[in-house]
Structure 1
Amino acid sequence: MGQDVDRSRFSRRDSQRYRGKVHRCLDALAAMLREHPFAQDEPMTGIELELNLVGSQLDPALSGADVLAAIGSAGFQSELGRWNIELNLPPRLLPGDEWRHLEHQLLDELAVARDKAGDYTAQIVMIGILPTLDRDHLVASSITEGDRYRVLNEQILGVRGEPIRLDITGAAPPGRPGPAERLIADFDSIIPEAACTSMQLHLQVSPDTFAGYWNAAQCLAGVQLAVGANSPYLLGARLWAETRIPLFEQACDVRTPELRNQGVRPRVWFGERWISSILDLFAENSRYFPSLVPVAQETDPFAELRAGRVPALDELRLHNGTIWRWNRPVYDVVDGAPHVRVENRVLPAGPSPVDMVANALFFYGLLRVFVETDRPLWSTMSFEAAEQNFITAARHGLDEPLYWPGTGWIHPDELVLRKLLPLAHEGLARWGVSTEVRDRYLSVIERRCVLRRTGAVWQLDTVAALQARGADRPTALRGMLERYIEASTINEPVHTWPLPA
């Protein structure tokens, strides 16, 4: 939910009025999709990157507000946890060497952030879940100050009516000692959500092609997770390859067990069907999900259209921001022109800038090919298979096969090496990405799959090696994180990171 909120108490009439305004916005969007021109520029991309701050002992550093003030840049913003900040890179085209320049810009921005964080004896960490978090850190006082976060916390807990419960059973990785581990914990705030730090990828597309891009992104979500997993630990427990997935789903779940048993849809959602229009997703949002923050504006979207102005659709956008689809639709207005984009929320932050750029370009290249193919991928894959791939990859990473049309069951690394990497090269070529850029970043994905070394695998192997030396789990996690920060900072891809001798 990126919009600011200036109220904290809402009446029944507020909710009723807000629902009406959401439907009014939905009708206006439907009219615009039929009759109004949308931005038709070359597709723009964007990145949002959530970062962690740690202190000298590698515990969370609750100095986010001070670090942001020291940075003094609108590109950096607050996040839910006081140990989090977010970097928003400006929109950028794909062709040529643009994403090589993006890597340099990312490195420059991170260098500034590290310098300012150092003034507060803090370091920056790009990782899916900070492995040194413990339960004493996940308390309400760790929520960033401000109405936006306080209202969201109050509303989610108010609707839920009981503490937030995390209940995650790990997957015992093949070849690793010990049984599957389990984490059960209750919290009196939504602060566990702040443990999830991700890289969010945006792609602006035309309304006519949006459905194809969203469907393709859903098909690719499992592969993205399998090759990009970077979150195997939470509160000291070894859980999923990408534990951020169940953690986020449970931390933002407003449903009681009884409502889950009735089949009420979760607000962190993969979805349930392929779509034919962006309107399908916004309509589902208004149909299935009650308001969390019912702030209604006075502006009428149809009055704006009659006056020749582009409506902001504030209520529709606010409502959409409280429903956390893994691939989320976005409506926005920039320089007086409306546009739509896919926001891909699947990937964790890290391990290094070059890894993250590689993950992004792998995704963008495959999207282009699968949208333009004569027989769309989603016409040969059931939605249920795409969702099961997503869950399997989050739980097991590279260690369990996924279903792929025309191939059947295949391990993700083999799928990438045999089939998807050539397609990603082709897709990036269609975007106009230079050969040098394609080779640099897709070779990172290739070597990661050849060596079967994702961020999650490196973390697991490093902790196992340190524990084999006699370290207990907390000490091993700190030792791993110390090595992680060093390798990430010098921008080496994770498949080259050494393990403890």
Structure 2
Amino acid sequence: MGDEVEQQEFTREDRTRYREKVRRNLDVFARMLREERFEAADPMTGLEVELNLTDEVGDPALKNAEALAAIADEDFQTELGQFNIEINVPPARLRDGGLTAFEDRLRASLNHAEERSAAVGAHLLMIGILPTLREGHLGGDTISANPRYQLINDQVLRARGEDIVISIGGRERLQTTADSIMPEAACTSTQFHVQVRPEEFAAYWNASQAIAAVQVAIGANAPYLLGKELWRETRIPLFEQATDTRSEELKVQGVRPRVWFGERWITSVFDLFEENVRYFPPLLPVLEEEDPVAVLDAGGTPALQELRLHNGTVYRWNRPVYDVVRGAGGEDLPHLRVENRVLAAGPTVVDTMANAAFYFGLVRALARGPRPLWSAMSFSVAEENFHAAARFGIDAQLFWPGLGQAPATEIVLRRLLPLAELGLASWGVEKEVSDRLLGIVEQRCLIGMNGAEWLVRRVRARGGDATGEAREEALRATVRDYRERMHAGDPVHTWDAPD
């Protein structure tokens, strides 16, 4: 959930000074763009996966501190809830076996972590929302010990001025309130990173926005929350509501939400950072000593820490990232990334890598294509597609240029898989790797089976259409079934296939 910060109190003066510093950072960022200071000659890609922890019977295990101590691997980090952890897979180039390296590293790391964490009663689960969560798991007393999380919680509630309302209607309806941002911890996602040259950033971000709905439709994996069957990707409305700093009056006035799809296609990465500064007050006004103008004038690379921290508290589904890495010669190299945040975690390592191949290939093909897709699709339609995909999953009907309103699976099969294959080839991905991973996406579409569909069918088969204890036991049993299959590693579309 971002950079480490210490627990502290913020004064009105802190907020004023921070706003001024963020704007100075933004001016320096604009100058860096003009002066072409960015590194992206040989772009890297990255992968993060958030995980749930469960006990033997399938209920949440509030043991992330114990699990992380047992795992003892710096790739694993804490997350908001005590039943969450996150793995950051080291970045790689897609050419020369990059996708295979991601897959092998992720599988090996998860196997090692499962062995260690199981010894302290915490099993790993890659899923969008853990179906066995109950309201007692989403209170302020289950926030992880990292001071950043308590700070964000306090600042969101202070800005909002009242409890958080969660209201989601689907096949069933959930209406509840929370006195903390802990409902956000229920949302566990997969995040893909792609390093981009400044001049290409707008095309990659616009392409990511245009295909977000299709990604969600075929990768949906979060149909249950607090025992209710809701949207196929309930993470989307839950995350939008769980960190909403606006009162009802501010919503009516048109104040923008911090979890934001956006409102327009962009022409430059600067558009996004400038919008974040212009529209959103700071949540964590932590000031650093760096003078970014002096650093840049001296030929150095400024960290722009205030701008980065502020950017990290605006939760765009496709987020712009400014970062600085150490080069081979010891120099600090600034770069830009698109962080694609729309997908749920899981169901398996190979499903995750199929989603990665589809995204990395498709976004490259569209960003470098002869005619921008977004020139034939309004931004509001892209957003409507996104929420339709979250609601209906693999059965969603979406608008697509040249097809009109069409099933998401048809759009993928007829239009997008060939483009993704071309994009992967452009990245330098081996054809056998591309065929294997995109073939998994193809089979999901042909069979109509993804994580959300499997979960719903399995819960119903176990009597989950009932309520009360029968529903709870069906959810627990399904979580155990899911966990067994997840660790076996076969893609989700094969889970119920005859032997």
Which interval holds the TM-score relative to the shorter structure? Answer: over 0.9
Q: 1:393 aligns with which of 365, 389, 405?
A: 389
Output the CA distance in 1 between the equivalents of 2:303 and 2:488: 42
Output the CA distance in 2 between the equivalents of 1:214 and 1:259: 28
Secondary structure, in 3 states, of the residue corresponding to 2:49? strand
Task: Quote the residue 1:467 is aligned against.
Answer: 463
**1:40 Cα deviation after fit:** 2.5
Task: Quote the residue 1:364 is aligned against.
Answer: 360
Secondary structure, in 3 states, of the residue corresponding to 1:255? coil
Secondary structure, in 3 states, of the residue corresponding to 2:462? helix
Secondary structure, in 3 states, of the residue corresponding to 1:136? helix
Task: Quote the residue 1:42 is aligned against.
Answer: 42
CA distances 1:302-333 after superposition (whole Å, capped 9, x unpaired) = 01111211000000000001000000000000
Task: Quote the residue 1:152 is aligned against.
Answer: 152
Q: Is the 8 A contact 1:459 1:480 kept in 2?
A: yes
Secondary structure, in 3 states, of the residue corresponding to 1:480? helix
CA distances 1:315-361 after superposition (whole Å, capped 9, x unpaired) = 00000010000000000000101000000000000000000000011
Output the CA distance in 1 between the equivalents of 2:131 and 2:89: 26
Secondary structure, in 3 states, of the residue corresponding to 2:463? helix
**Residues 341-380 of structure 1: matches in 2 within 5 Å?**
341-380=337-376
**Residues 108-127 of structure 1: matches in 2 within 5 Å?**
108-127=108-127
Q: 1:480 aligns with which of 473, 478, 481?
A: 478
Which residue identity is paired with 2:419? L
Output the CA distance in 2 between the equivalents of 1:496 and 1:40: 39
**Residues 236-255 of structure 1: matches in 2 within 5 Å?**
236-255=227-246
Q: State the identity as a percent.
A: 54
Task: Quote the residue 2:329 is aligned against.
Answer: none
CA RMSD of aligned residues (A): 1.4
Which residue identity is paired with 1:97? G
Q: Is the 8 A contact 2:321 2:337 kept in 1?
A: yes
Which residue identity is paired with 1:84? N
**1:469 Cα deviation after fit:** 9.6
**1:444 Cα deviation after fit:** 0.2
Task: Quote the residue 1:421 is aligned against.
Answer: 417
**Residues 15-94 of structure 1: matches in 2 within 5 Å?**
15-94=15-94
Which residue identity is paired with 1:427? G
Secondary structure, in 3 states, of the residue corresponding to 1:472? helix
Output the CA distance in 1 between the equivalents of 2:41 and 2:113: 32
Change (3 A) 1:114 1:132: same
Task: Quote the residue 1:384 is aligned against.
Answer: 380
Which residue identity is paired with 2:346? G
Secondary structure, in 3 states, of the residue corresponding to 2:209? helix
Output the CA distance in 2 between the equivalents of 1:106 and 1:3: 23
Q: Are residue 190 (structure 1) and residue 181 (structure 2) matched?
A: yes
**1:57 Cα deviation after fit:** 2.2
Q: Is the 8 A contact 1:461 1:499 kept in 2?
A: no
Q: Is the 8 A contact 2:464 2:474 kept in 1?
A: no
**Residues 174-189 of structure 1: matches in 2 within 5 Å?**
180-189=171-180
Output the CA distance in 2 between the equivalents of 1:96 and 1:457: 35
Q: Is the 8 A contact 2:58 2:477 kept in 1?
A: no
Output the CA distance in 1 between the equivalents of 2:67 and 2:370: 50
Q: Is the 8 A contact 1:462 1:500 kept in 2?
A: no
**1:60 Cα deviation after fit:** 0.9
**1:251 Cα deviation after fit:** 0.5
Q: Is the 8 A contact 1:297 1:315 kept in 2?
A: yes
Task: Quote the residue 2:210 is aligned against.
Answer: 219
Count of residue pairs the alignment pairs up: 492
Q: 2:195 aligns with which of 201, 204, 216?
A: 204
**1:498 Cα deviation after fit:** 1.6
Q: Which stretch shifts more, 453-462 or 396-405?
A: 396-405
Which residue identity is paired with 1:392? A
Task: Quote the residue 1:312 is aligned against.
Answer: 303
Secondary structure, in 3 states, of the residue corresponding to 1:121? coil
Secondary structure, in 3 states, of the residue corresponding to 1:30? helix
**1:299 Cα deviation after fit:** 1.4
Output the CA distance in 1 between the equivalents of 2:101 and 2:372: 32
**Residues 196-345 of structure 1: matches in 2 within 5 Å?**
196-335=187-326, 336-345=332-341
Output the CA distance in 1 between the equivalents of 2:116 and 2:2: 24
Task: Quote the residue 1:104 is aligned against.
Answer: 104
Task: Quote the residue 1:175 is aligned against.
Answer: none
Output the CA distance in 2 between the equivalents of 1:491 and 1:256: 44
Output the CA distance in 1 between the equivalents of 2:52 and 2:498: 24
Task: Quote the residue 2:431 is aligned against.
Answer: 435
Q: Are residue 135 (structure 1) and residue 128 (structure 2) matched?
A: no
**1:499 Cα deviation after fit:** 7.9
Secondary structure, in 3 states, of the residue corresponding to 1:425? helix
Output the CA distance in 2 between the equivalents of 1:295 and 1:368: 36
**1:447 Cα deviation after fit:** 0.4
Change (3 A) 1:309 1:404: same
Q: Is the 8 A contact 2:128 2:189 kept in 1?
A: yes
Output the CA distance in 1 between the equivalents of 2:406 and 2:36: 44
Task: Quote the residue 1:450 is aligned against.
Answer: 446
Q: Is the 8 A contact 1:128 1:348 kept in 2?
A: yes
Output the CA distance in 2 between the equivalents of 1:318 and 1:407: 41
Residue segments in structure 2 that go unaligned for 5+ positions in a row: 327-331
Secondary structure, in 3 states, of the residue corresponding to 2:89? strand
Secondary structure, in 3 states, of the residue corresponding to 1:227? helix
Output the CA distance in 2 between the equivalents of 1:284 and 1:354: 37
Q: Which stretch shifts more, 69-78 or 326-335?
A: 69-78
Output the CA distance in 2 between the equivalents of 1:500 and 1:371: 40
Output the CA distance in 1 between the equivalents of 2:211 and 2:197: 20
CA distances 1:73-104 after superposition (whole Å, capped 9, x unpaired) = 21110000011110000001111322122211
Q: Is the 8 A contact 2:323 2:334 kept in 1?
A: yes
Which residue identity is paired with 1:362? F
Task: Quote the residue 1:176 is aligned against.
Answer: none
Output the CA distance in 1 between the equivalents of 2:96 and 2:334: 26
Q: Are residue 162 (structure 1) and residue 165 (structure 2) matched?
A: no
Q: Is the 8 A contact 1:462 1:499 kept in 2?
A: no
**1:41 Cα deviation after fit:** 2.9
Segments of 4+ in structure 1 off by > 2 A?
468-471
Which residue identity is paired with 1:446? E
Which residue identity is paired with 1:342? V
Output the CA distance in 2 between the equivalents of 1:30 and 1:167: 40
CA distances 1:135-166 after superposition (whole Å, capped 9, x unpaired) = 11111111001211111111111111111110
**1:468 Cα deviation after fit:** 7.0
**1:290 Cα deviation after fit:** 0.3
Which residue identity is paired with 1:341? R
Output the CA distance in 2 between the equivalents of 1:271 and 1:200: 18
Output the CA distance in 2 between the equivalents of 1:306 and 1:197: 42
Output the CA distance in 1 between the equivalents of 2:27 and 2:339: 22
CA distances 1:37-56 after superposition (whole Å, capped 9, x unpaired) = 21133221101110011112
Q: 2:491 aligns with which of 493, 496, 501?
A: 493
Which residue identity is paired with 1:496? T
Task: Quote the residue 1:409 is aligned against.
Answer: 405
**1:231 Cα deviation after fit:** 0.2
